[in-house]
Structures are given as C-alpha cells and as structure tokens.
C-alpha cells in the first residue's frame, strides 16, 4: 500500500485506550497506517491529545471523560467496536451524552480516524468539493451528492492522486482510506451537537408555574401535568375533562372515530396498568359504561377526589416517542427517550438539558423516526428546557407519549406525569 500523504500542520496525538492489549496494539497499527501519531494511554492523557477509546460498554463515566478530554484541548473518539453496544441500552445512552460533551462516537473506525484528521485543521468540514475529472472522480461526486455532502464552494476538496483518495485544504493534503470512511467522517462531524442558547427561548415562561411547582411533594394530575408542559410549548391534543357520563357521551359524539377515556386524579402514577385507561371506546352506550366504570374506580381509590374523566380521540396514526427526566450525581439532569408509548425494549436515546432541535433530530433519525421528525425534535428540545429550567423542583417528569399527528402536521402530548419535590 502506498504511504499516506502527511499534512504539514501538526497533528493531534492519538492516545489509544482499549480493554485488552491486543486491541490497543491493533488500533495503534491502524492509526499509524493512516498517518496519525499514537501512544498508549495508561491512566493519563497527553496534553492537547485526542483519545481513541475502544468500548464494548458505555459506562456512566464516559460523558465526564469526554468533558475532561475536551477541556484539555482534545477530542474523545469513542469506537463502539462492531456496533456491539446497540444491544446495551445503557451504553447507547452514555454514548449519546458523551457526544453532547464533545466526543465523536461511531462504530466505524475509519470514519473516526478520518474525522480526527479533519479536526486537526479547524474549522473541520461537513461538506467538500470534488476536484478533477474521470469516471472514478464522477462516482465520488455522485456518492457525496446523494448524502448531501457535496459543496462546490467549500474550501475543502477531495481528489484522486496517484490512485489514492486525497483530501486537501489550502496547502495541506492527506490521504483517506476509502470513500466510505470519508462520508462517515463528514456525517459524523455534521451530526455534532450545535450550541444551545444560554437563555431559554421566548416560549418558556416558568414564572407561570410558581403556584404549581411548590411544596408539598406530590404527584400532579394528568391535566395539571399537561398544563406544566404547555408552559414550555408542549401542547396536548384535542381532549375534554368530563364530569358526567352525559357530558362524556356528548364530547365523544363529536369525534370521528373511537375515543380514549382516562380517570384524572392527583397521585395516579400507572393509570393504564391499574385499568384506569379504557380504549378504544365506540358508541354512546360504551362511552357511558366506561365513564361510570372509571368514576366508580375513582371513588374506591378514596381521597384525593377524582377531578373527572378525560375524553380524547384515539390516535392510531403517526409515530410516537416517550420522554423522561433522569438525574445522576455525576451528570446532573438530562433527558432520555425512545420509540413508543413508554419505556420498554425499543431503541433509546439521551440528550442534555437543554438541547437543540437539530441535535434531537439527529437522535430521532438514529432510532428510526422519519415521519414528523422535525415536529418531534422540537418537542424533545422543549421538554429539555422544562428539565433544565424547572427540573430542580421536580421529582419526576415524563411525557408518554408525544405523538406526531399527520392530519394536523404537528406533535401533540397525549399523556404526562409530573411529580413535585
């Protein structure tokens, strides 16, 4: 294999850390092949160095490690070997949070190595232009264009020199192992979290919550929990709190399709598991029976008294995600979420509080959300502001789920649980 071209600028020193010596040595050989100096990391970081960390499990210390490396002027490159971490939800969450702390995370070692080369010449590119002609060059341009990585005005370029793929910026040039590694690196750099404004957005009005988020410690009703979420721009779908069976029948009659009935009462935590959510309900007689059944259950529960029965259309279309606040001593408060109505075995993600809609959209794309991604990403960002601004007053905060309504073209909150400290 021809030697890699060496840039004239100084390169970051890559510290290689892996669980086993054989893996460490193999990673060092890979880095040497592409022209990046490396050393073994043994309990310390090289000043200004970049650490390539091979992990099979994330560990909650990973985000703090990313912050420490970034603070020393380096970048933590997290190589999830062979994508094995996909089966470990906790590893996925910690790697998401590490990315928000400055790490680059990928199961593609080639993409990580090329990304490290690109970040040695700031500002690192997310798109570049193709220079030269020929069939091979045209194929590279087509590949970059398909993935939105082609930019004819970029100061960075890619061309073929002596049969090798070469990336250049000004007088600096270096070889990359493959088009796949280059595309992966550009996508990785393009997915890095964008800065979040220090001040909350205009829609955040925490002062409206003074009378709600105050002692004593308690679990708020669904209606009041949604009122808290609404202050952060998270609006519920169409629904009505009915206080009689006749009222519930009248509301349901105006809905085109089946409805859901839910008992509303402070202190309820697992309504569905307790049989206090009835769905799908069709027709006036069934609505009346369901309302009476839930009202009787509310009486049996004793004080505090139920506030009524919520009647809402049964949403059967569009993707759904759940969101929840989590808190750890070493990480503070952050957001976890996933596909579906509530936490289960589905794909998950994590983000800081607050986070930007662009970062949320990247996470939603990773877990497979396509339809309504922008609207759901905005909902994730708004919930992250709730956690960031009001989290110190909350013992628990969960939205389960937030659904994308294709008919309205927006996200709506179907259920919420807020507990005050």
CA distance 338 to 129: 36
Same domain (yes/no): 380, 396: yes
Same domain (yes/no): 364, 298: no
Domains identified in the chain, total number: 3
In a domain, 6, yes or no: no
Across 77-91, 110-124, 207-221, 403-417, the highest mean pLDDT is recorded for 403-417
Which has more confidence, 190 or 19? 190
pLDDT > 80? residue 204: no
Range of the domain at 368: 206-220+227-234+316-420
In a domain, 65, yes or no: yes
Same domain (yes/no): 186, 303: no
In a domain, 195, yes or no: no
SS (H, E, C) 178-204: CHHHHHHHHHHHHCCCCCCCCCCCCCC
State pLDDT tens for residues 270-329: 898 899 999 999 999 999 999 999 999 999 999 999 999 999 999 888 999 999 999 998
Same domain (yes/no): 257, 324: no
Same domain (yes/no): 100, 157: yes
Same domain (yes/no): 139, 89: yes
Q: For residue 305, give the CATH number of its domain.
A: 3.30.1490.20
Alpha carbons within 13 A on the beta-carbon side of 166: 21
Q: For residue 415, give the CATH number of its domain.
A: 3.30.470.20
Domain boundary (313, 344, 368) is at 313
pLDDT recorded at residue 42: 46
Q: In the chain, pLDDT over 70 holds for what percent of residues?
A: 89
pLDDT recorded at residue 168: 87
pLDDT > 50? residue 2: no
Same domain (yes/no): 371, 397: yes
In a domain, 197, yes or no: no
As a whole number, mean pLDDT of residues 181-209 equals: 81
Give the global pTM.
0.84
pLDDT-based confidence at residue 48 (cuts at 50, 70, 90) = low
Q: Is the separation of the CB atoms in 18 and 54 below 8 Å?
A: yes
Nearest to 377 by CA among 411, 344, 407: 411
Same domain (yes/no): 290, 328: no
Domain boundary (313, 339, 357) is at 313
């Amino acid at each position: 294999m021809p030697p890699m071209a060496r840039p004239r600028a100084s390169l970051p020193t890559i510290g290689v850390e892996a669980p086993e010596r054989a893996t460490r040595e193999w990673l060092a050989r890979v880095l040497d092949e592409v022209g990046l100096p490396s050393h073994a990391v043994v309990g310390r970081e090289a000043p200004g160095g970049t650490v390539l960390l091979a992990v099979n499990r994330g560990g909650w210390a990973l985000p703090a490690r990313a912050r420490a490396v970034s603070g020393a002027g380096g970048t933590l490159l997290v190589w999830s070997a062979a994508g094995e971490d996909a089966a470990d939800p906790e590893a996925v969450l910690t790697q998401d949070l590490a990315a928000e702390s400055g790490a680059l995370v990928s199961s593609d070692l080639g993409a990580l190595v090329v990304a490290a080369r690109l970040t040695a010449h700031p500002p690192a590119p997310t798109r570049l232009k193709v220079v030269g002609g020929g069939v091979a060059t045209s194929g590279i341009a087509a590949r970059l264009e398909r993935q939105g990585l082609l930019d004819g005005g970029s100061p960075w370029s890619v061309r073929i020199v002596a049969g090798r793929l070469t990336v250049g910026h000004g007088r600096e040039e270096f070889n990359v192992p493959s088009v796949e590694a280059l595309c992966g690196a550009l996508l990785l750099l393009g997915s890095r979290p964008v800065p979040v404004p220090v001040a909350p957005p205009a829609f955040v009005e925490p002062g409206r919550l003074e009378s709600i988020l105050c002692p004593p410690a308690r679990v708020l009703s669904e209606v009041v929990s949604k009122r808290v979420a609404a202050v952060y721009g998270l609006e519920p779908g169409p629904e009505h709190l009915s206080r009689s069976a006749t009222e519930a029948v009248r509301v349901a009659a105006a809905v085109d399709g089946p409805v859901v009935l839910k008992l509303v009462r402070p202190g309820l935590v697992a309504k569905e598991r307790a049989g206090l959510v009835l769905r799908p309900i069709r027709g006036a007689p069934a609505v009346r029976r369901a309302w009476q059944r839930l009202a009787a259950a509310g009486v049996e529960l004793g004080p505090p008294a139920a506030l009524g029965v919520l009647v809402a259309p049964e949403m059967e279309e569009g993707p759904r995600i759940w969101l929840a606040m989590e808190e750890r001593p070493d990480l503070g408060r952050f957001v976890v979420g996933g596909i579906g109505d509530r936490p289960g075995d589905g794909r998950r993600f994590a983000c800081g509080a607050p986070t930007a809609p662009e970062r949320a959209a990247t996470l939603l794309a990773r877990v497979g959300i396509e339809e309504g991604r922008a609207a759901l990403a905005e909902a994730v960002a708004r919930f992250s502001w709730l956690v960031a601004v009001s989290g110190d007053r909350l013992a628990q905060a969960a939205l389960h789920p937030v659904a994308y309504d294709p008919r309205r073209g927006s996200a709506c909150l179907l259920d919420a649980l807020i507990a005050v400290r």
